[in-house]
Amino acid sequence: MHQALLVPEVLLEIFAYVKIIPSTETTPAQELLAALARTCKIFHEPAMDLLWAEIDGLEPLLGCVARLHPLIYHSSTKWDEPWAKGVELLSAHEARQFLRHSSRIRILDIQSEHPHLLSVIPAEACIFPRLKSLSLTTVYLNLFLPHMLHRCHLLSVDESLQSFVTRCIALEHLCIYTPNMSQFDNTANEMSLLSDRIHWCTRLVAISCPMLDWATWKHLSSLPALLKLRINQGCNHPPSLSKQDIVNISFLNITSLLFHDLYDTADIITVIQHSQFPSLKEFVFNARYISPEDAEQLFHALSRCKACRTLEEITICSFDERYRVPPNSEPLTPIPHFLCFTQLRSLRLASHNSHIHLDNDMLLQAMSTWPHICALEINNSASYPSSEISLRELFTALSLCPELHTLRVPINLATINIDPDAEPIQHTSLRSLALNLSVSQITNAETIARIIYAWLPFVNQVRNPYSLNWAEVNRYLGSLGRATVPYVRRASYKN
C-alpha cells in the first residue's frame, strides 16, 4: 500500500471522488464504497462514513436488524402494502443493531410511517448526533433533532415544533411544506403555532414556509443572518394578515425573496408595499392568477422597495389559464416600473390570463437601461398575439446588450423592415431565441432565416410554443448551418 494512503486527508479525498463519479452499469458508487470498506482496516472507517452519510428513508438502518432484513430486501410485499405493517416493535437488543451506523449519518430523508418501530428508544435520545440535514414529518421528531442540526425540512405542523425551542439551537435552514394544509379545519391554529415557533429561531439563514402573520414578518426582519425567504401559500384559504398590525419594516440582508403557488395575492402585495429590501438580488412571484389591478400594484411596490441598486433577477408569473381577463381590458405595463433596476440581469414575465405590453420604444429604452441583461422573456398567452416590435428595432435593441443569451418577445413580421443583404452587426452571445408572432403565418421564411442567420450566428432555431409558424424558418436555418459546416471545419483544421 502506498504511503500516501495512510494520510487520512488523502484517503478521504479519494473516497469522496469515488462517491460522486458516475456509476457504471454493474458497479454503483455505493457498492464501490462498500467494497472499499471491506478491503482493509485503514479503509473501513472513512468508506463507511461516506457510505452512510446520506440516507433516504429508515430502511437501510432497519435492514441492519437481523429480523427485519429479509422483510425489507427479500419481501414479496407489493409496493402499496407497507412491509412494516403488523411487525413487532424493536427490542432493546435490536435497537442497538439499528443504531449501529446512526452516528455516521449527515443527511436523512424520512417520509414513511416506520418510526413507530422505534418506540423502545427513549425520547430525547438524539440517535443521530451528527445529523446536519433532515426531512420528515413531525412524528417522533424528538428522536431526530441533534443540537447541531443545520437543515430541517418538515412535512407537517403540530405540537412537536416545540422541539425547535430547546433542541435546534444551530438551525440555519428551515423548510416547512404542508401540501395537505387545506384539508384541515384548524389551519389558522396550525399557522399560529408555526409562527410562534419561528419566533424562537434566531440563527436562520434561509426559511421556506406557508404564509405568516405580521408579527412573524417583523421577527424575520430582525434576523441579521437571514438571506433567503420563500413563502409557499399552497392552500385555498390561508389566514389573512391583520391590517391593524401592519407597520413598515426593513429586511436589511435578504437577497432572495420568493413567493410560490399563490392563490390570493393581496396579502403578499401588502407585505411588499410595507417592506424594504435594500440587499435584494432575486425576486420570484409565482401566482395562479393575478388581476391587472393587483399586478400594477405589485410592479409599483417592487420598484419602491429600495432594491434599485441590487436587484438582478425578477420572475413574475401567473399560470392558471382558467382565469381570463376581458379582451378589452388594459394591458399590463411592468417594464416602465422596472427601469430603475439598473443592475438587472434576468427578467422573466409570463401571463396566461392577461397581456403584457411591449413596443419598440419600450424595448430600446429597457435594453439601454439594462446593459448587463442576460435573459429577457416576455411570454404572453396565445390569446394575445399582437405586438408592435419590428425586426429592425429588435436587432437595434440587441446591439445594446452584448451579454444577452436568452430572448423571448412578441414580434410583428407583417413587414420586414431590414435589408437581408445589408452588412450585419452580429450578436454572438444570444443562444436561445423565442419569438411570438403577431401575424397568422410567415410568407417569407427564407428571407427571415437569412437575416437571423447573419445577425445571430449562434441561434440555430426559433422557438414558439403556440404554433408551427416558425417550422419553415427553422428548416432554412438548418440548411444554412449545414451549408457552412465544411468551411468551418476546414478553417479549424488549418488553424
The DSSP secondary structure of 125-174, one letter per residue, reads --S-TT--EEEE-STTGGGG--TT--EEEES--SGGGGHHHHT-TT--EE
Please give the pLDDT value at position 493.
35
Counting runs of H as helices and runs of E as strands, what totals does the chain give? 16, 17
* Cα–Cα distance, 493 to 495 (Å, whole number): 5
| DSSP3 helix / strand / coil % (the chain, rounded to 5) | 35, 15, 50
Tens-digit pLDDT profile for the chain (495 aa)?
777 777 777 888 888 877 776 655 556 778 888 888 888 888 888 889 888 988 888 888 888 888 888 888 776 654 445 677 778 888 888 888 888 888 888 888 876 656 667 777 776 667 788 888 877 765 666 666 666 678 877 776 666 666 665 666 678 888 887 655 444 444 566 667 777 778 878 889 999 988 888 888 999 999 999 999 999 876 555 566 777 778 899 999 999 999 998 888 888 999 999 999 999 999 999 998 888 899 999 999 999 999 999 999 999 998 776 666 666 778 889 999 999 999 999 999 998 777 888 999 999 999 999 999 999 999 876 555 567 788 889 999 999 999 999 999 988 887 788 888 888 888 999 999 888 776 556 778 889 999 999 999 999 889 875 566 788 889 999 888 766 544 443 343 333
Sign of the CA dihedral running 74, 76, 79, 82: negative
Tell me which amino acid residue 137 is. Answer: T
Q: What angle do CA 413, 416, 420 make, to 5 degrees?
A: 130
459 to 387, 434, 454, 462: CA distances (angstroms): 22, 10, 10, 7
3-class DSSP state of 67: coil
Terminal CA-CA length for the chain: 46
Chain centroid to Cα 164, Å, comes to 25
Please give the pLDDT value at position 139.
62
Please give the pLDDT value at position 223.
93
Which residues face 433 on adjacent strands? 407, 462
Chain centroid to Cα 368, Å, comes to 29
Tell me the three cell numbers of residue 418: 431590414
Overall pTM > 0.85: no
CB 35 within 8 A of CB 26: no
Closest CA to 351 of 411, 289, 409, 299: 289
* Cα–Cα distance, 384 to 379 (Å, whole number): 10
Under DSSP, the state recorded for 124 is: T
3-class DSSP state of 433: strand
Mark out the alpha helices in 240-359 (DSSP H runs): 266-273, 292-303, 335-338
Please give the pLDDT value at position 261.
86
405 to 409, 431, 449: CA distances (angstroms): 13, 5, 19
* Cα–Cα distance, 31 to 33 (Å, whole number): 5
Please give the pLDDT value at position 438.
62
3-class DSSP state of 469: coil
Which residues face 316 on adjacent strands? 285, 349
Task: Find all residues with CB under 8 Å of 147, minimum gap 6, and list them.
Answer: 126, 167, 168, 169, 170
